[in-house]
Amino acid sequence: MELNNTCDIRIGTSGYSFADWKDNFYPLNIDKGKMLDHYVQYFETVEINSTYYRIPHPAVMHNIVKKAPNNFDFIIKVPQSFTHRRVDIDKDIHDFNLSIQPFIDQGKLSGLLAQFPYSFKFSQNGLEYISILKQAMAPHPLFVEFRHNGWVNRKMYNHLKKDNIGYVAVDEPDLNGLLKPDAFATTDTAYIRLHGRNSEQWWNGGDLRYNYNYSETELVDWRDKTFKLTTKVKKIFVFFNNCHHGQAAKNALFFKDMLQL
C-alpha cells in the first residue's frame, strides 16, 4: 500500500508537559519550561489538553505558541464545561476565545477538540448541541470525539458532514459500549486519537487508563488505515494519548518512522 504524498500527515501527542516523560523522552534534568523546545525538534503538532481542566490566561498561551516554529500547528481541547456540563457556558466561551487568541494571531491554530464523555449518548438534541458548539467556536475547525458507540451511525455521519464538523476516530480497549477502531472522516481533515488498550484500568479512570505501550503489529494496522485515508482527505492528524511514562512519544516516533515521515 502506497502513501498519497499530497496528503499532509501530522503525528504528535496529547499534551507534552509531563514529569514522568523525563528520562523517557526528555532529558532527565530538563526544566518544565524547556519541554516544548525539545518536543518541537521531533514533532510538527501537539494537542493542548490543559485547557480541558481550566482556561489559561492569554499570556500563558502566548508563552507556549512563541516557542513553536512556523511549520508547527496546535489543536486545543475545549473546556470540559462545553462537553460535560453543556449549560451556562457563555462566560467560559468568552474566556476560552480570549485564551486561544495568541494561537490565532500566530496562525498556528489548526482546530479545536471536543471530547464528550461516555454518558453523552446519541440523540437528536446531542446532534443539535454539537452544531451550536460549532457555531460558538467559529470560524475554527471543530473535531468531536465520542466515547459511547451509539454515536457511530449514518445519521451522525451525515450531520457532521453537513455542518463541516470533524469526526475523531479512536483506538481504545475492546470493551462493551466503546467505539471500534474504525477510521473515517467527515471533513477534508481526518483525526485519529490512540488512547491505548488498557482494558483493566479503563473504567477506573485516572492516568493508569492510558498506561499502554502499542505493539508494532497494532501500529501496522493503524498505518494501513492512515494510508487509506490519504486518498480521501487533505490532512491527517494522529495523536497518541497513551501518555503514561512517555509511551505516547515513543509510539508516535515509531509511527512516524513506519509512515516514513
| pLDDT tens, residue by residue, 109-162 | 999 999 999 999 999 999 999 999 999 999 999 999 999 999 999 999 999 999
What's the pLDDT band for 4 if we cut at 50, 70, 90?
low
Burial of 211 (C-beta count, 10 Å sphere; 0-12/13-18/19+): middle
| pLDDT tens, residue by residue, 174-205 | 999 999 999 999 999 999 999 999 999 999 98
Tell me the three-class secondary structure of 219-240, residue by residue. Answer: HHHHHHHHHHHCCCCCEEEEEE
| pLDDT tens, residue by residue, 43-55 | 999 999 999 999 9
Q: Which residues pair with 73 in a beta bridge?
A: 45
Q: Give the pLDDT score at 247.
A: 97
Q: Give the pLDDT score at 206.
A: 82
3 state SS of 258 = helix
Q: Give the pLDDT score at 36.
A: 98
Q: Give the pLDDT score at 67.
A: 94
Q: Give the pLDDT score at 143.
A: 98
Q: Mean pLDDT score of the chain, rounded to an integer?
A: 96
The model's pTM is 0.96
How far is residue 197's CA from residue 199's CA, in Å, rounded to a whole number?
A: 6
What's the pLDDT band for 1 if we cut at 50, 70, 90?
low
Q: Give the pLDDT score at 2.
A: 57
- Mean pLDDT over 207-227 rounds to 95
- Mean pLDDT over 23-52 rounds to 97
Q: Reply yes or no on whether the pLDDT at 59 is more than 80.
A: yes
Q: Reply yes or no on whether the pLDDT at 3 is more than 80.
A: no
Burial of 257 (C-beta count, 10 Å sphere; 0-12/13-18/19+): exposed
Could you tell me the domains of the chain?
8-258 (3.20.20.410)
